[in-house]
Structure 1
Amino acid sequence: MSILFWRRTDLDGLERLSLQIKSDRVTAVSTVISTEAGGLRLDHRWVLTPDWRAQSVEIERWDAQGHEQLHLARVGPAEWAVNGTARPDLDGAEEPDLSVTPFCNTFPIRRVPQAVGSSLTLDTAFIDGETLTVTRSRQRYERQGAGRLRFVDLGLFEGFTADLEVDDEGLPTTYAGLFERVPN
Structure 2
Amino acid sequence: MRSRQIIRRWRRLDEPGLELMTLSSTASGLTVRSTLVHAGEEGFGLRYRWDLDTSWRTRTLLIERTDAQEKSLVIERTGDTGWRVDGADRPDLAGCHEVDVSATPFCNSLAIRRLGDAGGDLLALFVDAPALSCEPSRQRYDPLGPRAWRYVDKGVSDGFTARLDLDEEGLVTKYEHLFEAF
| Range class of TM-score, shorter chain | over 0.9
Percent identity among equivalent residues? 42
The letter of the residue matching 1:172 is V
Q: TM-score, normalised by structure 2?
A: 0.94
Aligned to 1:39: 43
Does residue 48 (structure 1) correspond to residue 52 (structure 2)? The answer is: yes
Query: What stretches of structure 1 of length at least 5 have no aligned partner?
Result: none
Does residue 148 (structure 1) correspond to residue 148 (structure 2)? The answer is: yes
Q: Is the 8 A contact 1:38 1:63 kept in 2?
A: no
Aligned to 2:112: 109
C-alpha deviation, 1:109, in angstroms: 1.1
Q: CA–CA distance in 2 between the matches of 1:9 and 1:62?
A: 22
The letter of the residue matching 1:10 is D
Q: Secondary structure at the match of 1:36?
A: coil
C-alpha deviation, 1:30, in angstroms: 0.1
Q: Answer with 51-60 or 33-42: which moved more.
A: 33-42
Aligned to 2:99: 96
Q: CA–CA distance in 2 between the matches of 1:32 and 1:171?
A: 17
Q: Secondary structure at the match of 1:111?
A: helix
Summarize the alignment of residues 5-84 of structure 1 with structure 2, pairs less than 5 Å apart. Answer: 5-37=9-41, 39-64=43-68, 66-84=69-87
Query: What stretches of structure 2 of length at least 5 have no aligned partner?
Result: none
Q: CA–CA distance in 2 between the matches of 1:69 and 1:54?
A: 17
Q: Answer with 15-24 or 79-88: which moved more.
A: 15-24
C-alpha deviation, 1:38, in angstroms: 6.0
Q: Is the 8 A contact 1:112 1:143 kept in 2?
A: no
Q: Is the 8 A contact 2:82 2:91 kept in 1?
A: yes
What is the number of residues matched between the two proteins? 178
C-alpha deviation, 1:28, in angstroms: 0.3
